[in-house]
């Protein structure tokens, strides 16, 4: 459906933007053909590499292609917006929509699309800042009060985000001196062979309580079993519908991790929270790592205190989150309260190179300080009063 939607978008741009241009037929043909090639960027990648997620050409070329494709998408959006506004004005003023929009309108929106895309791609390629927040965790033992956790998610290590960028992310993460690092999927885009050099710096992540990870949908696109083994080799503990108990002063905190909804398409087990919590001490608070934010309501009924997710990239463009929420059960970016569960959806540390744009939705390295909720501080006599 992705490619069908892009074809429809191209035909609309051709009809409403290219054909009315006040230029010669040859130039309209050149622009129309160029936009067709740009709109089919991902199909071209499939033809070249067998996947649209891992272009294996120089970083500058990947970002240039991303800029052109993002320009096409923004152009489509601006043409639709212009037609809607122009149509309303034409109805009110009883003038033709062509006169309302004017001959320079298409030049203006083309320039705006090119400029916004350039700014967005530049912002997407930068090193993410640190987003800090406190989260109250129901039942958190005093020994874990103030625990500093760093969440990394959607690094999408690829030709767009290579070794040098990864080294800087690791350096910035370690500088926070976290007690625990949690990685919530989509670490890579590409095979183990293609990305081994680029993911290498992840072995330098340091936290006393360890680095715990789960696979995201993109790991399944490139052989999840092999990537799980590689991430384990780099020093991470990858949870596959399982959990681990962290101990401090005879108190425990459970970190559970589930697989991604993409797994069954590759003959592997999908997310199974029951299996992940099997044999767990249910008196201990649970932090769940789940790549996609959907399923938070189920997590809440199973006694999960905090769910950390990514996948949405925060919508990438401010305003696009209003659309993205429909594909993610209403969860796109930031902190949500779902029953007695807190859900945090990160904007992502990077994003997929196939649409590398950020406008008003910054990437993040998330520093979370866990706090014992007020109910956790009650004495036994107060709990029964």
First to last CA, the chain: 58
**In whole angstroms, what is the distance from residue 233 CA to residue 124 CA?**
29
H or E segment to which residue 228 belongs: helix 224-233
Supply the pTM of this predicted model.
0.93
Residue 343 CA from chain centroid, whole number: 15
Tell me which residue of 75, 65, 16 sits closest to 37, measured CA to CA. 65
What are the residue boundaries of the structural domains of the chain, listed by start? 2-124, 129-375
In the block, tokens 């790549």 appear at: 291
Which fold does the domain 129-375 belong to in CATH? Purple Acid Phosphatase; chain A, domain 2 (3.60.21)
- Sorted by sequence, the CB contacts under 8 Å of residue 229 that are 6+ apart come out as none
**In whole angstroms, what is the distance from residue 202 CA to residue 199 CA?**
6
Q: Are strands 334-338 and 341-345 parallel, antiparallel or unpaired?
A: antiparallel
Q: What is the pLDDT of residue 281?
A: 85
Q: What is the pLDDT of residue 384?
A: 35
**In whole angstroms, what is the distance from residue 344 CA to residue 349 CA?**
14
Q: What is the pLDDT of residue 5?
A: 93
Q: Is 140 exposed, middle or buried (0-12, 13-18, 19+ CB in 10 A)?
A: buried
pLDDT mean by block of 10 residues, the chain; 385 residues: 93 94 93 98 96 96 98 96 83 68 80 97 98 94 96 98 98 98 98 98 98 98 98 98 95 97 97 95 93 94 96 92 75 94 97 96 98 60 36
Per-residue tokens: 233: 């080799």
Per-residue tokens: 252: 């425990």
Residue 318 CA from chain centroid, whole number: 14
H or E segment to which residue 67 belongs: helix 59-93
Under 8 Å between Cβ of 296 and 329: yes
- Sorted by sequence, the CB contacts under 8 Å of residue 55 that are 6+ apart come out as 45, 48, 49, 61, 62, 65, 158, 159, 353
**In whole angstroms, what is the distance from residue 212 CA to residue 243 CA?**
10
């Amino acid at each position: 459906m992705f490619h069908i939607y892009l074809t429809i978008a191209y035909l609309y741009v051709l009809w409403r933007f290219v054909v009315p241009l006040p230029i010669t037929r040859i130039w309209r043909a050149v622009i129309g053909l160029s936009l067709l090639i740009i709109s089919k960027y991902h199909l071209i990648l499939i033809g070249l590499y067998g996947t649209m997620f891992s272009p294996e050409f120089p970083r500058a070329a990947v970002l240039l292609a991303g800029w052109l494709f993002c320009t096409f998408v923004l152009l489509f959006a601006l043409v639709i917006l212009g037609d809607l506004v122009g149509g309303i004005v034409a109805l009110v003023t009883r003038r033709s929509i062509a006169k309302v929009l004017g001959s320079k309108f298409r030049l203006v929106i083309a320039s705006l699309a090119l400029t916004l895309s350039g700014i967005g791609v530049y912002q997407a390629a930068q090193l993410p800042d640190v987003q800090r927040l406190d989260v109250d965790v129901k039942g958190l033992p005093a020994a874990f009060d103030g625990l500093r956790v760093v969440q990394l998610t959607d690094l999408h290590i690829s030709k767009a985000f290579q070794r040098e960028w990864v080294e800087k992310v690791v350096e910035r993460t370690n500088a926070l001196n976290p007690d625990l690092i949690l990685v919530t999927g989509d670490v890579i885009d590409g095979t183990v062979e293609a990305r081994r050099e680029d993911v290498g710096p992840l072995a330098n992540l340091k936290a006393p309580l360890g680095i715990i990870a789960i696979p995201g949908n993109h790991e399944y696109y490139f052989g999840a079993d092999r990537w799980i083994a590689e991430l384990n080799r780099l020093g991470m503990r990858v949870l596959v519908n399982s959990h681990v108990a962290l101990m401090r002063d005879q108190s425990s905190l459970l970190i559970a991790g589930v697989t991604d909804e993409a797994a069954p398409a590759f003959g592997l087990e999908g997310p199974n929270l029951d299996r992940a919590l099997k044999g767990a001490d249910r008196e201990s608070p649970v932090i769940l790592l789940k790549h996609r934010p959907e399923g938070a309501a189920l997590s809440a009924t199973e006694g999960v205190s905090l769910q950390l997710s990514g996948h949405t990239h925060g919508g990438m463009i401010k305003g696009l989150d209003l659309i993205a929420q429909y594909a993610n059960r209403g969860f796109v970016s930031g902190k949500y309260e779902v029953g007695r569960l807190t859900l945090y959806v990160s904007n992502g540390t990077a994003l997929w190179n196939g649409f590398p744009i950020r406008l008003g939705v910054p990437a993040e390295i998330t520093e979370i300080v866990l706090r014992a909720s007020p109910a956790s501080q009650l004495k036994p006599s107060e709990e029964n009063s």
